[in-house]
Amino acid sequence: MNELITIFLGLVLINNFVLVRFLGLCPFFGVSKKLGSAVSMGIAVTLVMTLASIATWVIRHYILTPFNIEYMNIIIYILVIATLVQITELFIKRTNLALYNAFGIYLPLITVNCAVLGVTLIEAAENYSLLGSVAAALGGGLGFTLVLAMMSGIREKLEMANSPKAMKGVPIAFLTAMLLGLAFLGFGGII
């Protein structure tokens, strides 16, 4: 149990995907203009990460390791993640339309999100158990959502702020990201 909490907290705060590992930077700047869309993007990423972690754990454990082909993991994981996203999208679209509309265009976008591939590869490298993989995926997703929500909250306020003309929009977002990254560096020694 202790180990799971360590994995979870480690990925939420200390090894945060966006600010410390620099994965998933595209949605970090692309989808962080509004709080609402940032949160739905974060939830979609968390969902896909968890599903992908379980699926890749099964494949790693029962196929890749017995056949001794762990070096092919990137290509297989991408295939598995793409399949999962397709299935999830089809399923949600035909069963729960309200949820599908809430996810909107973000769900298919996640197919190629490097944070999702990143979490599966990190699990493979650290050789986590199934529960550990789920904890890592939930932690990674929650960390991603947290950072996106913080960033979008700050950017919503920055829109109103009287910043210099040349700094408006993306430049000041980059500076904000730098300060956020520095702040997250402070979590470094917790565990």
Partner 1 sequence: MAPIIGVLAAIGLACGLIIYLVYIKVPQKVKGLEKTEELNAILPGMNCGACGYPGCFAYAQALTADPELITKKPCATVLQDSESLERLEKALGITLDAAAMLKKALIHCNGNSETIYHYSGVDTCKAAAQLLSGYKKCPYACLGLGDCVKVCPENAIFIDPEKNVAIVDTEKCTGCGLCVAECPQNLIELVPAGTKVAFLCNYKPIRDIPGREKCDFGCIHCRKCFKACEYEAIDWNKETALPEFDQEKCTLCLKCIEVCPQNTLADFTKARKEAELVPA
Q: In whole angstroms, give the CA distance from residue 48 to residue 151.
A: 21
- Site mask for partner 1 (CB under 8 A), range 16-55, x = bound: ----------------------------------------
Q: In whole angstroms, give the CA distance from residue 117 to residue 119.
A: 6
- In the complex, least distance from residue 69 CB atom to partner 1, rounded to whole angstroms: 5
The residue from 5, 26, 58, 72 that contacts partner 1 (CB under 8 A) is 72
The residue from 58, 79, 130, 131 that contacts partner 1 (CB under 8 A) is 79
- In the complex, least distance from residue 87 CB atom to partner 1, rounded to whole angstroms: 5
175 contacts partner 1 (rule: CB under 8 A): no
88-107 residues near partner 1, rule: CB under 8 A: 90-91, 93-95, 97, 101, 104-105
Q: In whole angstroms, give the CA distance from residue 150 to residue 166.
A: 23
Longest dimension (CA), the chain: 60
DSSP state of 67: H
Residues 6+ apart with CB under 8 A from 13: 143, 184, 187, 190
58 contacts partner 1 (rule: CB under 8 A): no
Q: In whole angstroms, give the CA distance from residue 161 to residue 70.
A: 50
Secondary structure (3-state) at 132: helix
- In the complex, least distance from residue 67 CB atom to partner 1, rounded to whole angstroms: 5
Q: Which two tokens stand for residue 124?
A: 């493979």
Binding site for partner 1 (CB under 8 A): 59, 63, 67, 69, 72, 75-76, 79-80, 82-83, 86-87, 90-91, 93-95, 97, 101, 104-105
